């Protein structure tokens, strides 16, 4: 799969690093915690950790971090340890991150306000181990310094020195391949959750596909064939009935589209075909009729009078795409 992104793509991108810290409520076990009991030597085994507070008290922070990661995964592409996001969407992304940060800081204040009580409750749940837990508790100020939510956003410019430029150039070159890989991962999840083994689905099944579409549309400048794939998805959405269950040939078409999205090399090949003049409608028609390939494990399960032959026609000519 040849997807080399040009360095000029940086003109349209911002880089963002998400910096979220969450106190683990854990402390390392020490030999003193076992009152002089015989322990194996360090080169044989190492001690684990003890929990000094109920971990469920901290779940909210992991949940909010996951929300932020999901936002950046939906709108950007992994880059330099963070994400590359469309510059024209930066303000909207920051606005959503700010909402999540506010929720995070509110949860932090709420937890710290009852921190001492939470530790006492944890100790009371483990009678006989009061000394083990109490000897390792830390102050609320310590916990406060270990819970935080922030981000850094910056604009990248290629350096003039070619030797210095090379490392960044290689990272940018990989952006297209990274984007198609992320789409494939999301499509695989969509297949398993919404389409695998189904003979009909509701319109909710379109939601993850629309998220993939939105991501690709926002990053359409990263790789020339992205625009073609956005066009393919637009055409597919327009062919789905607005009401009722999605079944029959419409479902077969969507199953085929998801299958294409799951295979980056095949997706890029079809995107190139559209660039070269093939109509997106013809590709969708091929998915329904069975004249475009679908991996054997993804054969649509639909049995319909409209296209009864599709269940038997997936092992066919690949039209030279692989």
Residues near 39 by beta carbon (within 8 Å), at least 6 away in sequence: 31, 45, 47
**Pair (127, 216) in one structural domain:** no
Give the range of the structural domain holding residue 113, as residue numbers without chain letter. 7-154
pLDDT, one tens digit per residue, over 154-199 is 998 877 666 656 778 888 888 999 999 999 999 999 999 999 989 9
For 307, the 3-state DSSP assignment is: coil
Q: How many CA atoms lie within 13 A of 43 on its CB side?
A: 0
Q: Among 82-91, 165-174, 217-226, whose mean pLDDT is lowest?
A: 165-174
Same domain, 259 and 134: no
The fraction of the chain above a pLDDT of 90, given in percent, is 59
Let me know if residue 319 belongs to a domain.
Answer: no
Question: pTM for the whole thing?
Answer: 0.82
* 228 and 257 within one domain: yes
Query: Is the domain of 178 the same as that of 121?
Result: no
Rounded (5°) CA angle 55-60-64: 135
> Is residue 116 assigned to a domain?
yes
Is the Cβ–Cβ distance between 221 and 12 less than 8 Å? yes
Q: Could you tell me if 90 and 178 lie in one domain?
A: no
Q: How many domains does the chain have?
A: 2
Q: Are residues 188 and 290 in the same domain?
A: yes
What is the rounded distance in angstroms from the CA atom of residue 288 to the CA atom of residue 286?
5
Together in a domain, 120 and 225: no
Q: Which helix (H) or strand (E) holds 151?
A: strand 148-154
What is the percentage of the chain residues whose pLDDT exceeds 70? 82
Q: CA torsion, points 8, 185, 255, 278, in degrees to nearest 10?
A: 20
Are β-strands 82-86 and 13-21 bridged in parallel, bridged antiparallel, or unpaired?
Answer: antiparallel
Q: Enter the DSSP assignment of 201.
A: E
The H-or-E segment that residue 14 falls in is strand 13-21
Residue at 169 is within a domain: no
pLDDT digits (tens, 9 = 90+) for 7-57: 888 899 999 999 999 999 988 877 776 666 666 666 666 667 888 899 999
């Amino acid at each position: 799969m040849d997807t080399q992104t040009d360095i000029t793509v940086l003109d349209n991108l911002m880089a963002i690093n998400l910096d979220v810290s969450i106190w683990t409520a854990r402390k390392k076990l020490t030999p003193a915690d076992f009152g002089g009991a015989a322990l194996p030597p360090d080169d044989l085994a190492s001690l684990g950790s003890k929990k000094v507070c109920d971990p469920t008290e901290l779940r909210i922070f992991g949940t909010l971090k996951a929300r932020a990661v999901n936002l950046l995964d939906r709108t950007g592409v992994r880059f330099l340890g963070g994400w590359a996001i469309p510059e024209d969407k930066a303000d909207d992304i920051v606005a959503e991150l700010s909402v999540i940060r506010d929720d995070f800081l509110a949860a932090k204040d709420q937890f710290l306000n009852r921190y001492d009580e939470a530790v006492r409750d944890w100790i009371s749940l483990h009678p006989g181990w009061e000394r083990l837990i109490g000897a390792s508790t830390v102050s609320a100020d310590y916990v406060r310094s270990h819970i935080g939510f922030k981000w850094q956003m910056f604009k990248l410019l290629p350096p003039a020195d070619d030797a210095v430029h090379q490392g960044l150039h290689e990272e940018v070159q990989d952006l297209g391949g990274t984007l198609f890989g992320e789409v494939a991962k999301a499509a695989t999840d969509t297949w398993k959750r919404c389409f695998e083994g189904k003979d009909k689905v509701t319109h909710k099944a379109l939601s993850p596909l629309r998220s993939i579409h939105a991501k690709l549309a926002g990053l359409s400048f990263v790789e020339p064939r992205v625009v073609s794939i956005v066009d393919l998805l637009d055409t597919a959405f327009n062919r789905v009935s607005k009401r009722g269950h999605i079944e029959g040939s419409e479902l077969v078409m969507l199953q085929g589209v998801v299958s294409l999205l799951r295979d980056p090399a095949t997706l890029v090949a079809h995107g190139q075909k559209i660039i070269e003049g093939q109509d997106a409608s013809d590709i969708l028609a091929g998915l329904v009729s069975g004249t475009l390939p679908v991996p054997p494990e993804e054969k649509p399960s639909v049995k319909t009078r409209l296209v009864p032959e599709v269940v038997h026609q997936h092992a066919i000519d690949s039209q030279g795409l692989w």
